[in-house]
Amino acid sequence: MTTSDAIIFGEPQIEFRYAQRMSDPHDGLGLFGPYDADQPARPAVLPYVVIGSASGVRAFAAWSHVASHPAVDAPRGNYRLWPPFPGFDAAFCSEWPSKPVWSTVLDREALVTLSRHTDPYQRAFDVVDEYVKELRIVSQRDERPGVAICIVPDEVWQNCRPESRIADPIGRRVAPSTIRSRKAGQLELLDAFDPNQYHMSPDFRRQLKARAMQYRIPIQVIRESTLRLDSATDSGMRPLTPVSDRMWNLSTALYYKCGGKPWRLSAAREGVCYIGIAFRRASTTGDAETACCAAQMFMDTGDGIVFLGENGPWYSPQNKQFHLSKNVARDLLSGVLRTYQDQEGKQLREVFLHSRSGINREEFSGYAEACPAGAEIVGVRVRDTPDVRLFRTGKMPVMRGTFWRLSEQSGYLWGSGFVPRSGTYRGWEVPLPIRLDVQHGNAPIERVAQDILALTKLNYNACRLGDSQPVTIGFSDAVGEILVANPAVKCRLPNFKYYI
């Protein structure tokens, strides 16, 4: 590789109040406020409900009190890496109430007991049930919350994940073959169980988000330990970032889920949308080829739309790739574009498809048929590349935004790396790039790479300079899990805030 093959893109800017542009969301929110601060639809007050154990509810009450005040606790005074939090009202030009609209206390011991069942499907289903019961009550009240904050004991969080190992399990072990037969709908004479639990994800967080959609309340799941108002790490305690950093992250997520727009892409071109194609193999069938697809669309405003496609034989065990038929590809993109027209109504000029799996000619012809007349469509494969490393002189790794051009259609982009703004690299290992390949359509690879770098800044679930992957790809696993691994859930809302 010669030096002419690699370039470094400038950090993409994002837009805040008064049309001010900054690279770092901490700077933009702290100096100017959110992008929608002067728009009539922005949330002036953030109504919320809290559901958790007694200790969890108390911890969030203390957190809410601190959130209204500045937090300045950068270790060793490193404010470049850990910017001070100015207080919620100052950063978001909205009021954070010290008390929730409503709160409820769950029995902590009961939650822990439910989370220790040997069957991963039963323990996740039963624990989620406790939270869903309260959400049902919330949805029937006159006060309409903007977000439901679910505080989860750490032991429950650790137990209710697909690969969890239970230290002190409860109940008779259920063999994998029995679980497979129950998923297939086989009933049993002696064992009493809820068959619905085997049509849900064994991941507590993703199952809760799926089952909560029917109540149209976005969910913010928080581990109890996250609410510690210090970052000291004693033996056996979970290490945490400074309070100021956690305040920034949680406040940004809550503002977005309550309907706010913290920032938007300043470099986005009007009439251009970016669509991530997500796949997930369907675990409820015995067919190794069966999978489902979903599309995530993102506009220049930062709004996101999610649309579920059809189940089918989309997965190939031989080449480990997903490919849709022409008709299904057309219907998938048509569905998400209809939702776009209903919500935005703007004329589309360019459509960029991002997929981890390759896009073949048959699929692309279906996507192209779904596009409105006059709109250009480009298909881009975006994938991880664990076998590629790039080094530079000095102690720090390559800079974020480094682009290694391979050809007119391909290149490597580093979304992680050394960041001059913070003066450091926040990772532990050599940063890895993502491989970009323009497989269909016409677009300069440099422009594609710059767009994808900008899309790393649209994660409203945290307040960060940028992620290592664009939002079109970074959330595809979570969206696929919520949509596909919970087939018993019939209510699926299109707004992206319900999925993160």
Please list, in sequence order, all residues whose beta carbon lies within 8 angstroms of the beta carbon of residue 72, skipping any fewer than 6 positions away.
79, 84, 85, 244
Give Cα 450 to chain centroid, integer Å. Answer: 21
Query: What is the predicted pLDDT for the residue at 1?
Result: 47
Task: Show the tokens assigned to 492.
Answer: 């699926």
Per-position DSSP letters for 413-451, written without gaps between them: E-SSSBBTTTTB---SS----EEEEEEES---HHHHHHH
pLDDT 10s digits, 18-73: 999 999 999 999 999 999 999 998 999 999 999 999 999 999 999 999 999 999 99
CA distances to 85, 182, 261, 477 from 250, rounded to whole Å, are: 11, 39, 14, 21
Q: Are residues 217 and 147 in contact, defined by beta-carbon separation less than 8 angstroms? A: yes
Strand partners, 495: 305
The answer, yes or no, to whether residue 163 has pLDDT greater than 60, is: yes
CB atoms within 10 A of CB 39: 11
Average pLDDT, the chain: 90
> Which residue is listed with tokens 């594609």?
448
Q: Determine the Cα–Cα distance for residues 219 and 416; give it in Å rounded to an integer.
A: 28
Per-position DSSP letters for 357-393, written without gaps between them: S---HHHHHHHHHHSPTT-EEEEEEEEE-TT-----S
- Mean predicted confidence (pLDDT) in 93-106: 94
> Which residue is listed with tokens 């299109």?
494
Strand partners, 308: 294
Higher pLDDT, 34 or 492: 34
pLDDT 10s digits, 321-377: 999 999 999 999 999 888 888 876 678 899 999 999 999 999 999 999 999 988 999
Q: Determine the Cα–Cα distance for residues 264 and 122; give it in Å rounded to an integer.
A: 41
How many C-alpha atoms does 138 have within 13 Å on its Cβ side?
A: 30
Query: What is the predicted pLDDT for the residue at 291?
Result: 86
Closest CA to 498 of 277, 144, 212, 129: 212
Query: What is the predicted pLDDT for the residue at 3?
Result: 46
**Residue ranges of domains in the chain, CATH in brackets:** 43-257 (no CATH), 267-498 (3.30.420.10)
* Bridge-based pairing state of the strands 219-223 and 147-152: parallel
